[in-house]
Amino acid sequence: MRNPGPLAGWQYSPSIGMARQSKLGAVTTFAEIAEELQRAAKPATSELSDKRAPPNVGARRPVFQVQVSELAADRFFNSRAGYRAMFCHSPEHGNAANQELIDLLIPLLLVSRVLRKLSDRTISWIEASLRAPAGKVWVCETRLQGFPWRDLRKEILYPPWIAATDEWLRTKVDMPHLEGKTRHRGDDRLPFWGVRAPTTEWLEVKGAWMQDGVPLPATKHRADQIRARGWT
């Protein structure tokens, strides 16, 4: 699939300083960003996650945390040529970018020191999970300072995301108190977070849920959530 380049209409608020904006704009294709991440990546941890809620209770998947440079992560998540921007071009471009990055990172993940907590899984099982359509990359939310955030900061001024945030605010009389509440996929605060441009050095790679040695299919809503609201 042809790389579409920087996303039109993606702007930053003045809170994102010009020096940072210049660094974000220095890359113009997702391929550049993916290769930068591959060079910077230092896989740190892995774990086996259990699915405890229906459907498919008992399914398992590998989860990796990957340390990169702050600049590489910034370009990955907040650049107008980055990961979220690719989903804004189209779900197909976003899913292609996701798979491209996973393919580049897999050799770094499948090394013995990283796989200690996955020792009861075969390499072929782990690789099948990672390469399945439901495998995904994201920022490591547990390492984002102050997340889940309770203050609204419009840092990425991409019109559809701003409109989604404004609509969310319009329909809420009071800001919800988020402290101590667990994230869940149906959370209606996604647009509240999608306009943020967080800095981090940590990404998370999750394989597809596996059941009876077979990867479960991907759901369609993830790409649509990122495209419409900037978060998933």
Six-digit token string for 181: 């509440």
The DSSP symbol for 102 reads H
What 3-state DSSP class applies to 14? Answer: coil
Q: Say yes or no to pLDDT of 88 above 60.
A: yes
pLDDT at 188: 63
- Residue 114 lies inside a defined structural domain of this protein: yes
User: Containing domain of residue 220, as a range?
Assistant: 18-229
**Gap between the Cα atoms of 232 and 216, Å rounded:** 19
Q: Residue for token digits 């003045």? A: 14
Asked whether the beta carbons of 62 and 207 are under 8 A apart, the reply is yes
**Gap between the Cα atoms of 85 and 76, Å rounded:** 9
pLDDT at 52: 81
- Residue 12 lies inside a defined structural domain of this protein: no
What number is the average pLDDT over the span 143-147? Answer: 93
Of the pLDDT bands very low, low, confident and very high (cuts 50, 70, 90), residue 168 is confident
- Residue 3 lies inside a defined structural domain of this protein: no
What number is the average pLDDT over the span 74-80? Answer: 98
- Residue 63 lies inside a defined structural domain of this protein: yes
What number is the average pLDDT over the span 200-217? Answer: 96
- Residue 13 lies inside a defined structural domain of this protein: no
pLDDT digits (tens, 9 = 90+) for 193-202: 999 999 999 9
Q: What is the mean pLDDT of the chain?
A: 90
Angle at 142 between CA 110 and CA 156, to 5 degrees: 105
What number is the average pLDDT over the span 169-190? Answer: 57
- Residue 6 lies inside a defined structural domain of this protein: no
- Residue 105 lies inside a defined structural domain of this protein: yes
Check residues 16 and 43 and name the one with the higher pLDDT. 16
- Residue 10 lies inside a defined structural domain of this protein: no
Tally of domains within the chain = 1
